[in-house]
Structure 1
Amino acid sequence: MNVLLSKFTTKHNTVPFSQIKIEDYLPAFQEGITLAKAEIDAIVNNPEAPTFENTVVAMDFSGDILDRLSSAFFNLNSAETSDEMQKIAQEVSPLLSEFGNDITLNAALFAKIKTVYDQKETLNLNPEQTTLLDKKYKSFSRNGANLPEDKKDQLREIDKDLSKLSLQFGENVLAETNAFELHLTDEKDLAGLPEGTIEAARLLAKSQGKEGWFFTLDHPSYVPFLTYADNRELRKKMAIAFGAKAFQNNEFDNQENVLKIAKLRFERANLLAYKTHAHFVLEERMAESPEKVFSFLNDLLAKAKPAAQKEFAELTAFAKELDGIEQLEKWDGAYYSEKLKQQLFNLDDEKLKPYFQLEKVLNGAFTVAKKLYGLTFTEVFDIDKYHEEVTTYEVTDADGNLVSIFYADFFPRKGKRNGAWMTSFKSQSIKDGVNERPHISNVCNFTKPTETKPSLLTFNEVTTLFHEFGHGLHGMLANTVYPSLSGTSVFWDFVELPSQIMENWCYEPEALALFANHYETGEIIPIEYVQKIKESASFQEGLATLRQLSFGLLDMAWHGQDPTNITDLKAFETEQFANTQLYPDVKENAMSTAFSHIFQGGYSSGYYSYKWAEVLDADAFEYFQEKGIFNHEVATKFKDNVLSKGGTEHPMILYKRFRGQEPKPEALLKRAGLL
């Protein structure tokens, strides 16, 4: 009996990880697709006239088994993968892509949806129902349903190729990340490094039966090395290795993959009568068009660039004065920024880390959620998990009702990709009067506890935890009828608002008092540290903004114009970075070959949304600051109009309902010290 194909009989219907065998996946996917197809066929063959309920709603609730199986499998493929999992992913991705196309190119199904869509004005639908109908209709029209047969076939081929290419892209980046190790045996090469970083490197070497210290391109190893290692040559070695990922003309090279992906996306957009991939993508975003995005990015660039140039000049002068460095290079940036920050604020991560013990920070996030939204998180031990390091929680509201299940998975492992993300194992919806509650997960890569110390976070990691937890709350507090509009199923440039707004609490004394206690003495974080954290938050904000804008502009360059004549990836990048570049170029490095956000994740034509969402979050948090950061009225408005509403209405409508006005960029510029 394949456990993945029946309704789970576990507590809260959670995924029974320990009962899943790796050989279950492929047959489960094949059968799951068959079952989902049968549900679609039942809608198509229903002899009754098409209605909103028997067609649009039926479709939204179809494929439940396949959805849950897919989320379990692909979540594990990111957090706990293996060679076998990756092999299955390679086999399954084209099947799913084809199944998706079988639906969107199903003429009979589209005819039924269109019949309902054409009667839209007379159906008396509420806003959520209207959104669902629009979304379903567009999921066809934007995927070729109005195309003639031969063009539909072309589209299928493109989609199949794209799904394979982006998987290949990601596997190459992972392989290149894992392939590099800096093995140090001379203690003087460790000068400048924090003791926690050194200990982690020693444990890594020991785990591989080696003497000395191992440093890798994984963030918890790479970032401290670039920030603190005094040995400039070794920083250079690490930085060049990091920037050369999948750009080494070897079997893991991504240059061809990038060019192919960009060209296929453009071809696909043209097939669907859009000018470029960005025109296609942005139609379903708050930003609406490439022109708007370019003007948004360039407007911010005009304001940030003078500040960035001034900061770069200061940093250059500082490095020269300190160490006689004539030309600041990319591997010097983090190192001298940290030293300058030290000099200006006398505050470094090593001073702060003892106050940010992982468990306490997590409980702090829970307490903030309780104060704002009345949620209680209780760790439970009778829910199956996919790795012993995962912790599981029941989340309840003020009346003790179950709101969500929450999984937390915080440490790096061999089978886990870099970075931090929120995901779900089961989405929320309301069916037959039952409100199915969601199962949400946060996955991060924080430093593991060692033999002598608990897991202590850098301040940057504290904000990362709060950020992902904000996405988590968006998922947990979901309260919509239809699964495809639930939780984080919102326009892409709106999805970062709930996450980014949470980071603001990390800078507030009132919130820090809840969790920033010294792990040995219990002493609460000194107020002068808090002041310095706030002051230093806008330290080199010009440079940070310029960097983000350069990525957003590179993304738009790949996707907002015709890429068919690009043959040299590096030359193209150099041209795109001309207006934002301060450091000398490194010829061995390229950005695009490991720019997973846009070539593997879903950020193509969407990288600008980080900055877009910062405008939203700065503006929204200003409202909290006006009324009090734990103000019940503002929190309830945010919960009722943003967090629980998912994608049921246009985000600008939801935002204005919460805030009473459209967001203003001034709040962001003020916070960043750029005004």
Structure 2
Amino acid sequence: MFEEFNVNNLEKMKELLEIKLKESKEQIEKLLDLENKTYDNFVKPYQEIGEYINEFLTPMFHIDSVKNTEITTKVHEECLPLISNYSTELSQNVNIYRALKDIQDNGNTSLNNIQKKVLENEIRDFELSGCHLNNNLKNRLKEINLRQSELSHKFSQNLLNATNSYEMIIEDYEDVKEIPESDLELAKFEEDDKIKYKFTLQMPSYVAYITYGTNRGKREEIYKAYCTRAPENGKIIEEILALKDEKSKILGFDSYAQYSLSTKMAKTEDEVIDFLYELAKKGKVGGKNEVEEIKEFAKKDGIEELKSFDLSYYSEKLKKEKYDFDEELYRPYFEKESVLKGFFEFLNSIFDIEFKVSNTPTWDEKATAYDIFENGKLSSKIYIDLESRKDKRGGAWMNNWHSYYVDKHNNTHLPTAYIVCNFPQSTKDTKSLLRHSDVVTLFHEMGHALHHLLSKVPEPFVSGISGVAWDTVEFPSQFLEYFSYDKTVLKQFAKHYKTGEILSDEAIDKIIKARNFQSSLNMIRQVEFALFDFKLHQKLYKNEEDVQKLLNEIRDEISIIKPPIYNKFQNGFSHIFGGGYAAGYYSYKWAEVLSADAYYMFIESENTFNKELALKYKKAILEKGGSSDMNELFFEFAQREPSVDSLLKIDGIIS
């Protein structure tokens, strides 16, 4: 039923890929030779060819992220030009474009809305790929696309290498005395008959020291190492920006930001900028008050000038004092396996989906596959890999592998996806104990996964997350996040891993109250990143100095606590330079308006386990994938337009 994960032929991947791409081109040529092209005999098989290539490629890209080696990097770099050339040639094939246009023009009465959406998206994307241009410009776009792919991968690889190359060794216990026992155990090692502690830029290790490290000098040392990683990425950014600007101009857009919005829910640059400034304005007063509170608190330690590397440390202390909330004390209640089990039970209770461990190969002993059943029927598969490793790219993400669709022979294909995180490691003696913030991350990524896995759209190009506008793709992930703060939900899995004791109501209340701790400051930080990203792509910034100047200007205007001059945040901004968020980072907040408003309906119903409402959401949003614009699907679910006030209320920014 499901294809098994297998990269045993990694060394032969280039050769195998060349064969697959050649076969695909031949199949497309046969489709183009058809005299009377219809949706069923042309568009349907054309989509299946695309799925076939994606299904073959995904494990290769995936293994490079989760088990990175010199071989995976080499294979990735070998295959990238083949994929880029193939994709560009395909997207610029004027014969496919004309065929799709003809089918669209001739099929208006016979096509259903989902089929019309497929054609609408594909025709738009062909036009955005320059299929209407002369051969010289087409060739230049081909070169640009290939170079962009190479640079994005290089950006991410530089960041991974820099992250892995740094170690901070501490010998004095006084410098680590506040660090939680589980983190300290992972950091501890013995050398020359002496106990020492090693901290790295891997996220769990970095967070442990920047949040709990007693020695201020050491906090600055690791902070500086983190925010000055991969300085060589500065030159890569210059070239990426120049290529994106050139591509946009070739395609008839004034800027990359304008080009980016052509596929998004937001329609104008002013709409995005105004939205971000509205959030900044509403969060500024609260953010200033929050920073003043930290500054006053830090003065008790004799800190007269609060620095960026002090922020996490004193914020955590203040939160502990203010709410009697110490995230570390909760970790024994969030053991990884217990969390997963309870989380699955919760999802079953609201969405009627059941997770069962699948006896199928994975890429690491810590990764597990699960079959998902709906109403007793197998419907999808998910691979979950939660613990950090040195050979794994940092961060957390969901990646789709197979899509749900019905093929030309009326066979139903079932979807698969991966969830990857970087939670604390387990050993034979130590369980993986999560922070509540890790639990929130898990809910977030599962929201993405369910959006893909629960799709019931028969056309692969708009099934699951395919075809979903980029600035609304975060809606289902952020929506599910909200449930990770609900008392009834937490009681499903917040159990002490040794005693089985359920986390008390009082303890959970502290998590809920602490949720909005520094919510204005956090919002301002996200707005700062989003404005930097969007403005960076509104015109061409030609060199590192200009990029830094823009970031400084935005910090002067937006930031409440300014980072030090050496902070080169941009060199690690992988969302926009190593991922797909360029001129789209604003989408996190844009989609959050939808997610908060959807969750507010559960609040108003006074029942988190409101199954009727959850199934309505599942049917209107999750099952529909990209088959309609998200604003239409949201209206179908909520029967009204979304309101920004729900977000600000939930975050405690307005009452």
TM-score (norm 2): 0.96
Determine if the alignment matches structure 1 residue 15 to structure 2 residue 4. Answer: yes
Is 1:151 matched with 2:137?
A: yes
AA aligned opposite 1:466: F
Structure 1: distance between partners of 2:601 and 2:12: 50
Matched ranges for 1:340-419 at <5 A: 340-381=318-359, 383-398=360-375, 400-419=376-395
Q: Deviations over 1:471-525 (max 9, x none)?
A: 1111221111111211112111211111111111111111111111111221111
Q: Residue 655 of structure 1 is aligned with which of 629, 634, 638?
A: 634
2:231 paired with 1:242: no
Aligned to 1:66: 53
Give, as a single letter, the amino acid of the residue that structure 2 aligns with 1:423.
N
In structure 2, what is the equivalent of residue 498 of structure 1?
476
CA–CA distance in 2 between the matches of 1:568 and 1:16?
45
**CA apart distance, 1:141:** 0.4
Encode CA deviations 1:193-252: one digit per residue, 9 max, x unaligned. Answer: 11111111126x78x9996221110111001110001100000000000000112xxxxx
Aligned to 1:484: 461
Which among 434, 448, 463 is matched to residue 471 of structure 1?
448
State how 1:162-241 maps to structure 2 within 5 Å. Answer: 162-202=148-188, 212-241=196-225
**Aligned partners of 2:193, 2:567: CA distance in 1, in Å?**
32
The one-letter code sitting in structure 2 at the alignment partner of 1:32 is K
Percent of residue pairs bearing the same amino acid type: 34
Q: Which residue does 2:270 correspond to in 1?
A: 291
In structure 1, distance between residues paired with 2:167 and 2:125: 45
Residue matched to 2:253? 274
- Partner AA of 2:84 in structure 1: S
Q: Residue deviations 1:332-380, cap 9 Å, x none?
A: 0000000100110111112211111111111122111101111111113
In the other structure, the counterpart of 1:106 is 93
* Deviation of the 1:560 alpha carbon: 2.0
Secondary structure of residue in 2 paired with 1:539: coil
2:291 aligned residue: 312
Aligned to 2:14, which of 26, 29, 33? 26
Q: Does 1:118 align with 2:102?
A: no
Q: Are residues 209 and 22 of structure 1, via their aligned partners in 2, closer, same or farther at CA, if it must alter by over 3 Å? A: farther
Q: Aligned equivalents of 1:653 and 1:585: distance in 2? A: 41
Q: Which of the residues 476, 481, 491 maps onto 1:513?
A: 491
Q: Structure 2: 5+ residue runs without aligned partners?
A: none
Gaps of 5+ in 1: 1-11, 248-252
Q: How far apart, CA to CA, are the structure 2 residues paired with 1:289 and 1:98?
A: 31
Which of 429, 441, 446 does residue 405 from structure 2 map onto?
429
Secondary structure of the 1:531 match is: helix
Aligned partner letter, 1:496: E
User: Quick one: distance in 2 between partners of 1:281 and 1:420?
Assistant: 24
Give the direction of change, closer, same or farther, for the CA distance of 1:655–1:209 in structure 2 (3 Å limit): farther
Corresponding residue to 2:423 among 421, 428, 446: 446
- Deviation of 1:26 (Å): 1.3
**Aligned 8 A contact 1:266 1:563 in 2:** no
1:43 partner amino acid: L
Indicate the SS of the match to 1:62: helix
What TM-score comes out, normalization by structure 1 length? 0.94
Partner SS state of residue 401, structure 2: strand
SS at match of 1:275: coil
| Aligned residue pair count | 651
Match of 1:8 in 2: none
* Equivalence for 1:329: 307
Q: CA RMSD in A?
A: 1.7
SS in 2 for 1:410: strand
1:44-59 matches, cutoff 5 A: 44-46=32-34, 48-59=35-46
Query: Do 1:39 and 1:63's aligned partners in 2 also have CA atoms closer than 8 Å?
Result: no
Matched-pair contact (CA < 8 Å) for 1:14–1:439: no
Supply the distance in 1 between the matched residues of 2:367 and 2:420 (Cα, whole angstroms).
9
Alignment partner of 2:528 out of 543, 550, 571: 550
Deviations 1:539-566 (A, max 9, x none): 1111100100000001012112233477
Residues in 1 aligned to 2:332 and 2:401: alpha-carbon distance in whole angstroms: 33
1:579 correspondence with 2:557: yes
- Inter-partner Cα distance in structure 2 for 1:379 and 1:31: 34
Per the TM alignment, residue 263 of structure 1 is displaced from its structure 2 partner at its CA by 1.6
Q: Could you tell me how far apart the structure 2 residues matched to 1:129 and 1:484 are?
A: 10
The alpha-carbon deviation at position 623 of structure 1 amounts to 1.0
Q: Structure 2 counterpart of 1:23, which letter?
A: E
Query: Structure 1 residue aligned with 2:625, among 624, 646, 655?
Result: 646
Q: Helix, strand or coil for the counterpart of 1:423?
A: strand
Q: Shift in Å at residue 297 of structure 1?
A: 0.4
Q: What's the counterpart of residue 25 of structure 2?
A: 37
* 2:370–2:381 Cα contact (<8 Å) kept: yes
